[in-house]
Amino acid sequence: MSKKLVIIGDSAFAEVAYECFTHDSDYEVMGFAVEAAYLSKKELFGLPVVPFEQIEEHFDPGEVFFYAALVYSQLNRLRTRLYQAAKAKGYMPASYISSRAFVWHNVELGEHCFIFEDNTLQPFVRIGDNVVLWSGNHIGHHSVIQDNCFVASHVVISGFCNIGRNTFIGVNATLANNITVGEDNWVGIGVTIVRDTEPNQLFKGEQPEAAKVSATRFFKVKE
């Protein structure tokens, strides 16, 4: 029997969450909720989009689960705030774990998590509350990802790492074994971390400078 679900948000992530919950879970999406100041549509996928401030008038907290489908805005603070606000209203948090994710039997998962396809979670991994693992990540054995983190795609977190709360880790980043990443870190695209980091640090993924010769000239393409 399916469980009823309301998705908080109407962005691209909310649309993806609708697809995942609808086609790869035992939840049935009943509608969406958005804070009134940002409400721009009345329907999405034929379902109602209601003001979050009046969500109880449309969806019974005693019967309906929720998922706050927000990304890493404000270092994950926006998703965290709405997750906590929905819980305060009495709604039960839902999680999504893709049927195509590999999650070892003794992995500990917190509540309100979203784990996409092709993630590998090895033995003794611990995942906190309100964590998003986008597609294709490797989370090595005995590693811990604390609350409110967002890990983008194709990240390698090696064994015995500890990722501090609220941290964002960008596409193709790599963490060596036995690394502690401080809370509120931003690890950019393709960044490699080989030493412990302090709280509230920013590691940029740098764009390389373009070569002085054009691509067509380098490859001898005739115009």
How far apart (Å, rounded) are the C-alpha atoms in residues 98 and 41?
29
CATH fold of 96-200 reads UDP N-Acetylglucosamine Acyltransferase; domain 1 (2.160.10)
Helix, strand, coil % over all residues of the chain, rounded to 5: 15, 30, 55
pLDDT of residue 114: 99
pLDDT above 70: percentage of residues in the chain: 100
Q: In whole angstroms, give the CA distance from residue 94 to residue 86.
A: 11
User: Whole-model pTM?
Assistant: 0.95
**Rounded percentage of the chain residues whose pLDDT exceeds 90:** 97
CATH class of 3-94: alpha beta
Q: For residues 171 and 115, give the distance between their C-alpha atoms in angstroms, rounded to a whole number.
A: 15
pLDDT in tens, 62-99: 999 999 999 999 999 999 999 999 999 999 999 999 99
Which part of the chain is CATH 2.160.10.10? 96-200
Say how far residue 36 (Cα) sits from the centre of its chain.
23
User: Rounded mean pLDDT of 6-13?
Assistant: 98
Chain region(s) in the chain for CATH 3.40.50.20: 3-94
Q: Is the pLDDT of residue 217 over 80?
A: yes
- Tell me how far apart the alpha carbons of residues 169 and 158 are, in angstroms, rounded to a whole number: 13
